[in-house]
Copies of this chain bind each other. A is one copy, B any other.
Amino acid sequence: MPVSSQDSTHQPGGLNLDPWYDNYARRTAGLTVSEVRALFAVASRPEVVSLAGGSPFVSALPEELIHRAFKRMMKEHGAEALQYGGGQGIVQLRERILDLMAIEGITGASADDVVTTTGSQHAIDLVTKLFINPGDVILLETPSYVGALGTFKSYEADVRHVDMDEEGLNLEALEAAIHKARAEGKAVKFLYTIPNFNNPTGVTMSAARRREVLDLCIREDVLIVEDNPYGLLYFDEPAPNAIRSLDEDHVLYLGSFSKILSPGVRVGYVLAPHGIREKLILAVESSILSPSSLNQWLVTEYLEGSDWRAQIDTFRGTYRERRDAMLLALEEYLPQLSWTVPNGGFFTWVQLPQSLDSKQMLPRATKELVAYTPGTGFYADGRGHDKMRLSFSLPTPERIRLGVRRLANVINGELEIIETFGSFDNRSADDGRFASAPPDLN
């Protein structure tokens, strides 16, 4: 019960200064400040080389393309772009989305089964809202996307990691996790997977494994939520076809324009089994009435009036060069560590010596003017202290090299201290000074 402003001495909720503290819904216990929230502020100081964050390099997009799309939009669809639209999203955009999905093997889909959203994060939120009662089980990779974990927790899901091998989700582990949850009387609501250039690991699920995971999920009646924002950003060979290309009834497919065009427009989409599609539209309406008509038309005109395939090639070239710079620098400066070799996307995942704690090391790293994302944020169960995610999407190759060199100094310095004084646990590292920084949650 809140206190009136006259009575500011009574503090409900113990030491909490928020008078509404006791009024929040139970689910807000899962709404905690992300471990990587701090990094945005740090990363935005120009002297820091940020290997944290997951921001695309939007400067690789000629602004002229946006100007042109905007002009076309205002000329042809100005009034519509400024008005409310339908909850499902505009049909012209949904039809262009079919072209995009076809590149990853999804053919024969209908624009009628596509729903557009405010970025794919919004899609993750809505799907979770549709399916999760408190305590229901969501299965996912080890580790997995921090933004999805946060959303799952905000609906009080019981989030369970499934072990991986080099081909992606381990089949036996997946089957065992399903059976274990059911034996406990739990409902397994869906498997959330990022099969291409996973965030954070950069790992891609093999074609054979996709088939096997799908077959298992069909056999066990488990819905697959396939989240694929990076699929078109491959470096060497294209990734295998989407799981959704193999089955339309058991897969809910999420895509996004954030990484192949711009996250500033916040346009994502879902291709859903028919019955779910219907409910998703209601969920969109209940959440925001309708996605931004202006942004949807802008993306539509961009797709219709520009060579967007060539633009994706440009992005791929940029990110490939940066990936190469990252891997070379790791080999040069940190040869004693191991890391994943991503064939696309934005990230590599680094294994540190067990004695290091990447979260506790972060303040020291930022003092040395380099930032990264600590591993723990990508686990629902507290693991990951000896892992870190390095992102190569935003800094130039030279800056990546500089960043990794600085990182090597930090890591080697920490290892020396530990050799001399023992492990981290005796020292306090997180001094809370990042607490009010703006977030970078992806």
B67:A55 contact, CB within 8 angstroms: no
Q: Complex formed: what's the CA distance from A119 to B27 in Å? A: 23
Which residue of the partner chain, among B20, B85, B150, B442, contacts A286 with CB atoms under 8 Å?
A: B150
Given A55-B83, A288-B125, A440-B84, A24:B264 Cβ within 8 A: no
Q: How many residues of A are counted as interface, with CB atoms below 8 angstroms from the partner's CB atoms?
A: 100
Least CB distance, A279 to chain B, in whole angstroms: 6
Q: Which residues of B contact A155 (CB under 8 A)?
A: 25
Q: Which residues of B contact A125 (CB under 8 A)?
A: 286-288
Pick the interface stretch among A129-137, A170-178, A202-210. A129-137
Whether, in the assembled complex, A250 has its beta carbon less than 8 Å from a beta carbon of chain B, the answer is yes
Least CB distance, A394 to chain B, in whole angstroms: 9
A84:B442 contact, CB within 8 angstroms: yes
For A125, give the chain B residue with the smallest CB separation. B287
Q: Which residues of B contact A80 (CB under 8 A)?
A: 264
Which residue of the partner chain, among B5, B122, B154, contacts A247 with CB atoms under 8 Å?
A: B5
CB contact list, A285-327 vs B, under 8 A? 285-295, 298
B264:A294 contact, CB within 8 angstroms: yes
Whether, in the assembled complex, A161 has its beta carbon less than 8 Å from a beta carbon of chain B, the answer is no
A264:B34 contact, CB within 8 angstroms: no
Q: Which residues of B contact A287 (CB under 8 A)?
A: 121-122, 125, 151, 287
Pick the interface stretch among A217-225, A231-239, A331-339. A217-225
Whether, in the assembled complex, A31 has its beta carbon less than 8 Å from a beta carbon of chain B, the answer is yes
B5:A218 contact, CB within 8 angstroms: yes
Least CB distance, A62 to chain B, in whole angstroms: 11
Q: Which residues of B contact A249 (CB under 8 A)?
A: 2, 4-5, 19
Q: Complex formed: what's the CA distance from A82 to B55 in Å? A: 10
Q: Complex formed: what's the CA distance from A56 to B79 in Å? A: 11
Q: Which residues of B contact A85 (CB under 8 A)?
A: 264
Most chain B CB within a 10 A radius of its CB, from A154, A263, A288: A288
Q: Which residues of B contact A424 (CB under 8 A)?
A: none
Which residue of the partner chain, among B67, B118, B223, B263, contacts A74 with CB atoms under 8 Å?
A: B67
Pick the interface stretch among A268-276, A384-392, A409-417. A268-276
Which residue of the partner chain, among B61, B86, B187, contacts A438 with CB atoms under 8 Å?
A: B86
Whether, in the assembled complex, A18 has its beta carbon less than 8 Å from a beta carbon of chain B, the answer is yes
B282:A31 contact, CB within 8 angstroms: yes
Q: Which residues of B contact A278 (CB under 8 A)?
A: 18
Least CB distance, A91 to chain B, in whole angstroms: 9
Which residue of the partner chain, among B16, B82, B219, B263, contacts A58 with CB atoms under 8 Å?
A: B82
Whether, in the assembled complex, A23 has its beta carbon less than 8 Å from a beta carbon of chain B, the answer is yes
B131:A275 contact, CB within 8 angstroms: no
Whether, in the assembled complex, A3 has its beta carbon less than 8 Å from a beta carbon of chain B, the answer is yes
Whether, in the assembled complex, A439 has its beta carbon less than 8 Å from a beta carbon of chain B, the answer is yes
Whether, in the assembled complex, A33 has its beta carbon less than 8 Å from a beta carbon of chain B, the answer is yes
Q: Which residues of B contact A265 (CB under 8 A)?
A: 82, 292, 294
Q: Complex formed: what's the CA distance from A213 to B122 in Å? A: 36
Given A84-B264, A262-B82, A295-B294, A18:B289 Cβ within 8 A: no
Whether, in the assembled complex, A434 has its beta carbon less than 8 Å from a beta carbon of chain B, the answer is no
Whether, in the assembled complex, A240 has its beta carbon less than 8 Å from a beta carbon of chain B, the answer is no
Q: Which residues of B contact A33 (CB under 8 A)?
A: 282
CB contact list, A1-36 vs B, under 8 A? 1-5, 16-21, 23-28, 31-34
Q: List 6 A-B contacts (CB under 8 A).
A: A28-B130, A58-B82, A81-B264, A87-B438, A266-B291, A294-B298
| Among all A-B residue pairs, the 3 with the closest Cβ atoms | A18-B275, A86-B438, A264-B293
Besides A23-B131, A66-B82, A264-B294, 7 new A-B residue pairs in contact (Cβ under 8 A), listed by A number: A4-B249, A20-B276, A26-B133, A31-B130, A85-B264, A86-B439, A121-B289
